[in-house]
Structure 1
Amino acid sequence: MSGIFISFEGPDGAGKTTALKKLMPLLQAKTDQEIVLSREPGGSPISEKIRKIILDIHDEEMDPRTEALLYAASRRQHLIDVILPTLKAGKIMLSDRFVDSSIAYQGGGRQIGTREVAAVNDFAIDGHLPDLTIYFDVTPAVGLARIKKDHEGAMDRLEKEAISFHNRVYDSYIDLLKENPDRIKKIDAQQSPEQVVQDALKVITEKFPETFNKGE
């Protein structure tokens, strides 16, 4: 039994984390394989320490390349500690963000080059791309409005960036979607939360029909 690696991507305010919590039990009910849920940056003890540095609102003077390298370092440790052992054990790995986030946020948002950031992360992940990536599509204006409402003003360092930054991130995600049509599948995240979860469930079960067929 082989493991399956699925990542979930989207701009800030896309509702990934909320959708994942609701999606997890629905997926588990359709398979006998154990499902493991993790996140980036973070997901393992060392990676979580790096996460605190990256998202600290007081680290505003952090150089964009330093930021990109920290994300790649956190990702590498997460891969070694969590993702690869999960897949080796034949389990299903769900990750809230992975390599596409760095390409979109640091490469596009920070304007240090999507190819350059992709190259750094190629070294970090050593060819271990997700089998499927679900992209939650939401415009920057809608996403940021959600964050301000839900977080009551408490935003991390990246969420506090100007709308121009978030527009570049969004555009980079759209480019990634066009460049990777077989791996990345788009879901309209401006629908109701319930519909978003159902759409994600449909994409995953249709992609891996032999794995998610329990009870059918």
Structure 2
Amino acid sequence: MNRPLFISMDGPKGTGKTTLLETVTQALRATGQKVVRLCERNNDPYRRETMALVNQLARQPCADLEWQVCERLAQSRAWITEQVLPKQPAGSIILIDRWYPSDAAFRRLVPFADILRLNLALDVRVPDLHIGVVTTPEISWARAAARSRGLGSTVILDQQEQVACTQAFERAAAEQGWLVCRNEGSVDDASRQIAATINHLL
């Protein structure tokens, strides 16, 4: 395998995605794989401007403003596709923390089908594997409440919104055929499921 394998890990807040990313990375590296960990947020050159729109949207929800957020995020992903992904080592596995599947959870007024078309129209790279990490909203909400920073979201503000976020993401995952990893039990069990799927692709 010369071209890096590109894998996105997405899902609602509080599903244990970051912890799972860490354990999957360790498991793959233990077998000698070259793994590159990227985060969409940290590689987005337009992050500040986009978050200003996100904060405005939280105060004044409307479809036009949400579409502007979708456009800005898609433009950022196109930039990452052109400027960041080609620089990763040949033969590596790129694990990215969030990509366009996350919009299925956090956008409320723009259908995900429209968001997907927008990203594809801008030549945003399609991951070789989409992994959706999910739990019941009750579990993710409780996990978020137990950590010092809480849910850490400007988009999801209460448990009812967390329920809607989870349901929307799971619908999109089913429609798009993403690999769904239920992270409600042992993180080791979940990471083994993901690592086995990735190794099967190699």
> 1 CA distance for matches of 2:56 and 2:194?
32
> Counterpart of 2:114 in structure 1: which amino acid?
E
2:173 aligned residue: 177
* Structure-2 change in CA distance of 1:131 and 1:163 (3 Å): same
SS in structure 1 at match of 2:184: coil
> 1 CA distance for matches of 2:198 and 2:119?
25
* Structure-2 change in CA distance of 1:38 and 1:103 (3 Å): same
> 2 CA distance for matches of 1:47 and 1:21?
26
Q: Conserved in 2, the CA contact under 8 Å of 1:54 and 1:70?
A: no
> Counterpart of 2:152 in structure 1: which amino acid?
M
1:7 aligned residue: 8
> 1 CA distance for matches of 2:119 and 2:57?
26
Q: Please, which runs of 5 or more residues in structure 1 have no aligned partner? A: 209-216
1:146 aligns with 2:143: yes
* Structure-2 change in CA distance of 1:53 and 1:70 (3 Å): same
> Counterpart of 1:123 in structure 2: which amino acid?
A
1:186 aligns with 2:180: yes
1:133 aligned residue: 130
> Counterpart of 2:45 in structure 1: which amino acid?
I
- The counterpart of 1:168, out of the listed 164, 171, 195, is 164
> 2 CA distance for matches of 1:128 and 1:152?
32
* TM-score, with length taken from structure 1: 0.77
Q: Please, which runs of 5 or more residues in structure 2 have no aligned partner? A: none
1:196 aligned residue: 190
> 2 CA distance for matches of 1:170 and 1:154?
14
1:156 aligns with 2:153: yes
* Structure-2 change in CA distance of 1:54 and 1:20 (3 Å): farther
2:37 aligned residue: 37
1:118 aligned residue: 116
The alignment's C-alpha RMSD in Å is 2.7
% identical aligned pairs: 21
* TM-score, with length taken from structure 2: 0.82
> Counterpart of 1:113 in structure 2: which amino acid?
P
Aligned length: 198
